[in-house]
Amino acid sequence: MILFVVNENSGNGRGKKIWDKVEVRLRKSGAEYMKIATKSESEAVALVSEQLKRGKMKAVAVVGGDGTLHGLLPILAGSGIPLGLIPSGSGNDTSRSLGIPSDPIKALAILLDGHSRRIDLLETTTSSGQKQLTLTAVAIGLDATVAEDVNRSSYKKWCNKLRIGSLAYVIGLLRALAKFKPRPIKITIDGTSHEFRQGWLSAVSNVSSYGGGLQICPNALPDDGLLHVCIVHDCSVPRILYIFPTVLTGKHIRQQRFVTILSGTSVTIETPVSMLAYGDGEPSGETPITAAIRPRQLDFLIAVSG
List, for residues 270-305, the tens digit of each pLDDT value. 999 999 999 998 899 999 999 999 999 999 999 876
Greater confidence, 58 or 10?
Answer: 58
Greater confidence, 23 or 65?
Answer: 23
Give the CA angle between residues 185, 169, 257 to the nearest 5°.
40
% the chain with pLDDT above 70? 96
Lowest mean pLDDT among 36-45, 96-105, 158-167, 179-188: 158-167
Across 61-89, average pLDDT: 90
Q: Quick one: pLDDT at residue 12?
A: 66
List, for residues 109-127, the tens digit of each pLDDT value. 999 999 999 999 999 999 9
- Supply the DSSP string of 214-271, one letter for each residue: B-SSTT--TTSS-EEEEEEES--HHHHHHHHHHHTTTGGGG-TTTEEEEEESEEEEE-
- How far apart, in whole angstroms, are the C-alpha atoms of residue 179 and residue 236? 14
DSSP-derived 3-state class of residue 65: coil
Q: Quick one: pLDDT at residue 108?
A: 95
Strand-pair partners of 231 = 202, 260
Length of the chain: 306
Q: Quick one: pLDDT at residue 73?
A: 95
Q: Are 91 and 64 in contact (CB under 8 A)?
A: no
pLDDT exceeds 80 at position 156: no
Lowest mean pLDDT among 61-70, 73-82, 264-273: 61-70
Greater confidence, 11 or 256?
Answer: 256
pLDDT exceeds 60 at position 225: yes
Give the CA angle between residues 283, 286, 290 to the nearest 5°.
100
Span between the terminal Cα atoms of the chain, in Å: 27
Q: Are 186 and 260 in contact (CB under 8 A)?
A: no
The single-letter DSSP state of residue 195 is: E
Q: Quick one: pLDDT at residue 11?
A: 62
Across 74-99, average pLDDT: 89
Q: Quick one: pLDDT at residue 306?
A: 46
Lowest mean pLDDT among 5-9, 33-37, 176-180, 229-233: 5-9
Lowest mean pLDDT among 11-15, 130-134, 286-290: 11-15
Mean pLDDT of the chain: 90
Domains of the chain: 2-114 (3.40.50.10330), 122-296 (2.60.200.40)
Q: Are 69 and 280 in contact (CB under 8 A)?
A: yes
pLDDT exceeds 80 at position 1: yes
The region, left, alpha or beta by phi > 0 then psi within -120 to 50, assigned to residue 245 is: alpha
Greater confidence, 12 or 9?
Answer: 9
pLDDT exceeds 90 at position 199: yes
pLDDT exceeds 50 at position 178: yes
Across 86-110, average pLDDT: 88
